[in-house]
Amino acid sequence: MKKKVVIVGGGINGLTAANYLQKRNFNVHILEKNNHIGGACVKDTAVIGKKVFNYPKGATVLGMMQKFIFEETHLSKFVETYFPKSPKLVYFQDDLEPTRIFQNIDSLQNELKNKWNEKGDVAGFRNDENKVIHYLQNIYKKSTIPSISDAENTLGKKTTELWIKGSAYDLLNHYFTSEKTKLYMGMTVTESGPASIFQKGTAFTIPLMDSGSIFNGYWGFVKNGIWEITENLEKINKSLGVKIDYSVSIKKINSKSQKIHLENKKLDYDYLLFATDPLTPSILLQDSKKVKTINNKELVGTSGKVTAFFKNPVIWKYPINDNSLDTSFRFIFSNSNLDEFEKSSQSVYKNRKDYEPGYIQIYPEGSAQRKMGNDEGIEKLILFSKNFSFNKESKDLIECKEDILNLLSKHIVNIDDLIETKFLTPLDLKKSFYFPKGNIDHMTLSGDQNFNKRTFSNCPEKSFFRYFDFNNIYYCGAGSFPCGSVAGTPGYMCAKHIINFN
């Protein structure tokens, strides 16, 4: 008889786990609270004039996914992607011309030397990072348990200390002399939440965020929008026989009798996977001690998102009269050194401020769509911005959105073409996506919640994805190893662990 797996949560991780388990002879049933799947990888609509436009409500760009997951799930048959090979462009305050982040290491070393007076070892950094990335990609694929001793055996003690156990601050200072290089290379440390760059274990986030293999560590776009990933995976899963219930309200779960109590019925399970935020299982399991334990973890997020709609394609001041870099990712930094970077991220965390400018990552969604042959008659520019506190909704922080748009306006010619914006703060993200404290990774990638410590298992060396000590209950949402993103890696790894037990 096929074993029954119930998956709570139909985001990218629940859908990925379902795909692998259903194909390996389990009977999979997804229970989703919303009336649609997708979690934070969904579309929303904006009505502009009399027209309705889709835009990515949460996640926008694809990059952390493993190529084998894209292919093995068969997403690759249905989803068209594009990633820009042109250099990324970085602006610091008062820069009119950006610094170009070339993919080629020699060109990058030269550019950083000329623009930022970088005298360190850019090539050494990239080469060592690639070794760590390669090691991580092997862990993902083989679904092995992340362990410091294994890392030391494979990468050596020095590399493990620097790249996995150490602080981002020490890692960046080891390779670089220029504060600007350190900021650019280290910005992902606070991407999901206010991890302190001085904390041990934060170095690991740097190679982690480059460890997707779909575009060799780079980031790119999905034709129509990133929601095509979750919507297509839903269709593929249904065709495999996965059952999906929407708008489900789980009343309680009895872990002894292995029964889930819904409004009108009870469901049995052999395995129960939570692909939600990490707090939800403890609430549904009515375990107040575990609710407290999880609430004491670092859950807070500091990311905000402005989606800007332009009536015409955005015209950048750099390069002039040349659109070859229109699909390049651009970054605007308000900090000029690591100390300022730390101060801004920590000041919102400690609730001293509602908003403190850190950096803006600009994703040229509209240009990329046109590149893929999808001209929607509107230009979308996504401004993923740092740092917001968890205190206020976007409606109470309109002046912060204006600040972000002002920074953008220095670099484009046609700000007057801006016709609509959508703005989300961490508090909005909690309300939209049920993240406990608005963190896009469900919980911060701080040193104590990274690599081998990104687990809820009471016995991680045996069963890394188990939820505390509950029998046959697992957690594989974005709060588990390796992290969130539209990747599905935790869902895949957890499914593999269950498959391997059987």
Ligand X SMILES: Cc1cc2nc3c(=O)[nH]c(=O)nc-3n(C[C@H](O)[C@H](O)[C@H](O)COP(=O)(O)OP(=O)(O)OC[C@H]3O[C@@H](n4cnc5c(N)ncnc54)[C@H](O)[C@@H]3O)c2cc1C
The reply on whether position 299 binds ligand X by CB under 6 A is no
Nearer to ligand X by Cβ, of 176 and 384: the residue is 384
The reply on whether position 275 binds ligand X by CB under 6 A is yes
The reply on whether position 14 binds ligand X by CB under 6 A is yes
Nearer to ligand X by Cβ, of 8 and 332: the residue is 8
Nearer to ligand X by Cβ, of 155 and 253: the residue is 253
Residue of 6, 7, 18, 59 that binds ligand X (CB under 6 A): 59
Residue of 6, 9, 55, 236 that binds ligand X (CB under 6 A): 9
Nearer to ligand X by Cβ, of 82 and 318: the residue is 82
Q: Residues 218 to 257: which contact ligand X by CB under 6 A?
A: 248, 250
Nearer to ligand X by Cβ, of 56 and 357: the residue is 56
The reply on whether position 291 binds ligand X by CB under 6 A is no
Nearer to ligand X by Cβ, of 348 and 424: the residue is 424
Interface segment toward ligand X; rule CB under 6 A; list 37-45, 136-144, 365-373, 467-475? 37-45
Residue of 22, 26, 43, 58 that binds ligand X (CB under 6 A): 58
The reply on whether position 143 binds ligand X by CB under 6 A is no
Residue of 29, 115, 180, 305 that binds ligand X (CB under 6 A): 305
d(CA 378, CA 290): 47
Name the DSSP letter for residue 485.
Answer: S
The reply on whether position 30 binds ligand X by CB under 6 A is no
CB 432 within 8 Å of CB 57 = yes
CB 438 within 8 Å of CB 331 = no
Measured between alpha carbons, how far apart are the two ends of the chain, in Å?
12
d(CA 383, CA 87): 18
Pairing of strands 379-385, 359-363: antiparallel
Interface segment toward ligand X; rule CB under 6 A; list 66-74, 286-294, 345-353, 484-492? 484-492
Minimum CB separation from ligand X for residue 429, in Å?
Answer: 5
DSSP 201-263: T-TTHHHHHT--TTTTT--BEESS-THHHHHHHHHHHHHHT-EEE-S--EEEEETTTTEEEES
Residue of 39, 84, 87, 436 that binds ligand X (CB under 6 A): 39
Token pair listed for 302: 């500091």
- Cβ count near 345 (within 10 Å): 24
The reply on whether position 18 binds ligand X by CB under 6 A is no
What Rg value do the Cα atoms of the chain yield, rounded?
A: 22
d(CA 391, CA 245): 34
Q: Residues 402 to 441: which contact ligand X by CB under 6 A?
A: 424, 429, 433-434, 440-441
- Cβ count near 297 (within 10 Å): 19
Please list, in sequence order, all residues whose beta carbon lies within 8 angstroms of the beta carbon of residue 104, skipping any fewer than 6 positions away: none
CB 211 within 8 Å of CB 137 = yes
The reply on whether position 33 binds ligand X by CB under 6 A is yes
d(CA 277, CA 326): 36
The reply on whether position 181 binds ligand X by CB under 6 A is no
d(CA 271, CA 206): 34
The reply on whether position 11 binds ligand X by CB under 6 A is yes
Q: With CB under 6 A as the rule, give the number of residues binding ligand X.
A: 36
The reply on whether position 89 binds ligand X by CB under 6 A is no
The reply on whether position 365 binds ligand X by CB under 6 A is no
Identify the three-state secondary structure at position 99.
strand
Nearer to ligand X by Cβ, of 333 and 481: the residue is 481
Nearest 10 degrees: CA dihedral of 105, 111, 117, 121? 0
The reply on whether position 445 binds ligand X by CB under 6 A is no
Q: Which residues bind ligand X (CB under 6 A)?
A: 8-14, 31-34, 39-41, 58-61, 64, 248, 250, 275-276, 280, 305, 424, 429, 433-434, 440-441, 477-478, 484-486
